[in-house]
Chain A
Amino acid sequence: MSLTTTHPYIEALLKGSRDLPQSPAGWLDARRAQALERANALTVPTTRDEEWRFTDITPLTRIHFQPAQSVTRLALSDIGCFIVPEATVRLVFVDGIFVPELSAVPDSPAGVQVSTLAEAAEARSALLEKHLARHVAFENNLFAALNTSYLRDGALVTTGKNQACAAPVHLLFVATQKETAAYPRCLVIAEPGAECTVIEDFVSLEDGAYFNNAVTEMVVGAGARVRHVRLQRESLNAFHIAHCAVTLDKDASYLSNTVTLGARISRYDLNVAQNGEGAEMRIDGLALISGRQLADTHTLMAHARPNGRSVQVHKTIVDGAAHAVFNGKVFVHEGAQLTDSSQESRNLLLSGRAHIDTKPQLEIFADDVKCSHGATVGQLDAEQLFYLRSRGLSDASARNLLTYAFGAEIIDRIPVRSLLERLERTVLEQTQAAEPETRS
């Protein structure tokens, strides 16, 4: 029952959502309708909003992105370079649309069940109703509301009680059409004692401007363990806005590696809520950007129960006139005694025009905790450079090696070998192609 006038840009974005077919689950249609109503009532965030202070998304609002009207026909060979050999299960979405021919879903993959949300809305409606759109709140979040109003397809990954899936599940989102919007959606549920690895991978076969607005929810049961690898390698003209919410039960653990390479403007919000005692989170991030890219990462690690542990290392390597933003909040609620948390924001500026805004925040309402945080912004270390040059390495080669090493610390912790090696090469190539402009 919104009384506000709908923002014309939001109106344009929402045009397609009313045409979605009815879902077999009534609750899903109701939730979508709620989200649509909220999207209509909200406005596009500007730099006057505290949460968007450093991230101006005006360029996004210049194009009325619409969902893809047709499915681009791709052969497996078109996406061959993105295939992760370790993954036995792969779901492929092209411009937001699930493509079964490109996907690989074995009948009974060990330890894990993977399906599309559309299938699950019929077969596992009760489970979905309990979790879908329950963890990423859309009431005051335009992009989550937009995504939810378009909720139709997406991925559901579930791991049964005490089941372990050693092979990673690969969720591949391929963009092929410019000026389209896609609304990727994932729900991951690890039952108590379960273990799984999920790779969310955003790639592009199109150089133009398109818009990916993704939402991921993860529910990690008691003693369960989820590893989350997130690769954002969109086209350099793309817009990527994503939200991920993770809920941890007692003794659960969540380990995430996020690598941001692409997009003209990207924003990733990761909220991890430790709702059970003794839960553990380890969050690693690397953004490697250049040119006119902007990469914004907002994280919240919320400790609500005692004995939680959280470790975060977020690194950025910024070249050209690119701009990296990091806002990392650690929140320790009253009663979350004996929380052990550390957070580091480390940033490397490779050019005089590169820009970094970093804001680690710590809010503590318990009195017996161990929390540390810190941020560094700098150029390469002069003593390390001299040491390498004194051994015959050229200035450029010494700089490349040190830049690479800075990023490698994060890459090397990725739990999927082939991705790790591929990313090592990517980082190596990208750091070697870096602009030499301000170097002596």
Chain B
Amino acid sequence: MINANATVLLEVRGLRATVAGVEILKGIDLTVRAGEAHAIMGPNGSGKSTFAKALAGHPAYEVTSGEVLLEGKDLFALSPEERARAGVFLGFQYPVEIPGVSNSGFLRLAYNTVQGARGRDELDPLEFDDFVREKMKLLDMDPGFLDRSVNDGFSGGEKKRNEILQMALLEPKLAILDETDSGLDIDALRVVANGVNRLLTPANAVVLVTHYQRLLNYIVPDYVHVMEGGRIIKTGGKELALELETRGYDWVLEEYKGKTGAEV
């Protein structure tokens, strides 16, 4: 939902970043306002996931120039955990398995840590159990997943549901969902997408990183950005996603080259 007067949640200006000395992000500009849904699409290796991880503070990505403001404050001055507490959430493309750490214990620790940092009430194990089971219904998740180790032995779809469950618990202002649709069959996709939709409010925003248009049938974006070579080379409305689906990315690249004379 576009509202030109809504608060700017995220302001990215000229972001450049490297991984192991190789520049992957080559100047990204993006503005996300409250209430908006953005989709970032693009071919493999275009820098989409790097962008998502850099925003969340992954230590392997070094920001070399540019700035990112979260509600006007310098995001890069914050550690990954401070970003999470401030309202940034990254839904991982490959959620990490942590054998030996119970999912319920982990979810409660994360929830209480973030609640505490935001000056809100924490929940004891019994209260949390009721609370989390309610949230799991939203995602049609079996409560049995509480007793297992974090993501350990979960199928691809189960891992993605567990990611969105964490999003539901942590109530981010800005959720960046990195290929949340990959590994999901059509039924799971619908459940996960509906879950995300129900979490979106006029006060928060979502950035969907995806290869495919099909997720966007369920979570309808206000903006679609095409990323290539570490830059956003085109921005359009939801219809751009459909056009990409039928025509591929090459024409966008040609258009960009023609416009800028740049080699991408």
- Chain A residues with a Cβ under 8 A of chain B: 382-384, 386-395, 397-398, 401-402, 404-406, 408-409
Cα(A389)–Cα(B88), bound, Å? 12
Most buried by A among B83, B85, B109, B114: B109
Chain A interface mostly: helix
Q: Considering only CB atoms and an 8 Å cut-off, how many residues of chain B contact the other chain?
A: 29
Interface string of B67-101 (1 = CB under 8 A from A): 00000000000011101110001101001101111
* Given A390-B56, A390-B57, A405-B100: A395 in contact with B81 (beta carbons within 8 A): yes
- Chain B residues with a Cβ under 8 A of chain A: 56-60, 79-81, 83-85, 89-90, 92, 95-96, 98-101, 106, 109-110, 113-114, 117, 149, 166, 170
Q: What residues of chain A lie closer than 8 Å to B96, measured between beta carbons? A: 383-384, 386-387
* Given A382-B59, A397-B109, A397-B113: A392 in contact with B100 (beta carbons within 8 A): no
Q: What residues of chain B lie closer than 8 Å to A390, measured between beta carbons? A: 56-57, 80-81, 83-84, 89-90, 92
Q: What residues of chain A lie closer than 8 Å to B166, measured between beta carbons? A: 391
Q: Smallest Cβ distance from A295 to chain B, in angstroms?
A: 21
Q: Smallest Cβ distance from B56 to chain A, in angstroms?
A: 5
| Residue contact B80 to A389, C-beta cutoff 8 Å | yes
* Given A382-B59, A397-B109, A401-B109: A389 in contact with B100 (beta carbons within 8 A): no
Cα(A397)–Cα(B166), bound, Å? 18
Q: What residues of chain A lie closer than 8 Å to B79, measured between beta carbons? A: 389, 395
Q: Smallest Cβ distance from A315 to chain B, in angstroms?
A: 11
Q: Smallest Cβ distance from B36 to chain A, in angstroms?
A: 22
* Given A393-B109, A395-B79: A387 in contact with B95 (beta carbons within 8 A): yes
Specify which of B58, B85, B109 is in contact with A386 (CB 8 Å cutoff): B58
| Residue contact B101 to A389, C-beta cutoff 8 Å | no
Q: What residues of chain A lie closer than 8 Å to B85, measured between beta carbons? A: 392
| Residue contact B92 to A392, C-beta cutoff 8 Å | no
Cα(A401)–Cα(B79), bound, Å? 18
Q: Smallest Cβ distance from B111 to chain A, in angstroms?
A: 8
Q: What residues of chain A lie closer than 8 Å to B81, measured between beta carbons? A: 389-390, 392-395, 398
Of chain B, the residue at the smallest CB distance from A383 is B96
Pairs across A and B, CB under 8 Å, 28 listed? A386-B57, A386-B59, A387-B92, A387-B96, A387-B98, A388-B98, A388-B106, A389-B79, A389-B81, A390-B80, A391-B84, A391-B113, A392-B85, A392-B114, A393-B81, A393-B109, A393-B113, A394-B113, A398-B81, A401-B106, A401-B109, A402-B98, A402-B101, A404-B100, A404-B101, A405-B99, A405-B100, A408-B100
